Amino acid sequence: MKGNFNVPNGKLRYTWQNPNEPHPRKKIILFKYLPEFNWIIASTSYEAEVYSPLQTFRTFIMALLAIMLFFGVILTFFISRSVTKPLDKLIQKLEAGSQGDFSGRMEYESPDELGKVSSHFSILPFYRPMASLKKSTKAPLILPDVLKATSYINPSGRPSGGAMTPTLKR
């Protein structure tokens, strides 16, 4: 055992091999000098026994973090899906409208921004039911300027080529 025993307090590490063990193991010794009695009090133990509870705690913390990460990923998936699913439906309805199908409605009622966009989507001028388009005057329904369209809807409900004006005509 090597160490400086001239200091009054401290700790040392050393290896120790018991007679019935095949190889030496690491040990730690903590000591303190008591001047009132002129004693040195020491305690020794194997390092594996001292650090075993810390290793168990570390394993527990790592497992807990892995479980929290797993549930965090699942929760994130479901939250993002609750936002993207109605948005995907809205995109499909808009794509159908760009292909000439103006019968679609967006039925998503929620107080959030997506609910507001969905409610406004259903009241866009060119998304009125086909029957109301056919009953309207013979003047074509021109898309508003905000839609950035280059065509207009004729009385039969189908898009036709033509110039776009920023006003809504019937």
The verdict on residue 170 lying in a domain is: yes
Predicted confidence at residue 75, as pLDDT, reads 96
The verdict on residue 156 lying in a domain is: yes
- What residue numbers bound the domain in which 44 lies? 9-49
The verdict on residue 38 lying in a domain is: yes
Tens-place pLDDT, residues 34-43:
989 989 899 9
Tens-place pLDDT, residues 16-36:
998 899 999 999 999 999 989
- Spatial distance between the Cα atoms of 164 and 170, rounded to a whole number of angstroms: 13
pLDDT reading at 8 higher than 70: yes
The verdict on residue 157 lying in a domain is: yes
Tens-place pLDDT, residues 133-143:
444 444 454 54
The verdict on residue 105 lying in a domain is: no
Q: How confident is the model at residue 117 (pLDDT cuts 50, 70, 90)?
A: confident
Dihedral sign, Cα of residue 138, residue 144, residue 149, residue 150: positive
The verdict on residue 153 lying in a domain is: yes
The verdict on residue 142 lying in a domain is: yes
Long-range contact pairs involving 88-93 (C-beta distance under 8 Å, separation at least 24) = 90/114, 90/117, 90/118, 90/121, 93/121
**In the chain, % of residues over pLDDT 70:** 64
- Over residues 99-126, the mean pLDDT reads 71
Q: Give 164's Cβ-side CA count (13 Å radius).
A: 13
For the chain, what is the mean pLDDT? Answer: 75
pLDDT reading at 46 higher than 80: yes
- Over residues 104-127, the mean pLDDT reads 70
Predicted confidence at residue 122, as pLDDT, reads 65
Q: How many domains does the chain have?
A: 2
pTM metric for this prediction:
0.46
The verdict on residue 4 lying in a domain is: no
Predicted confidence at residue 155, as pLDDT, reads 60
Tens-place pLDDT, residues 72-112:
999 999 999 988 888 888 888 778 777 777 676 777 777 77
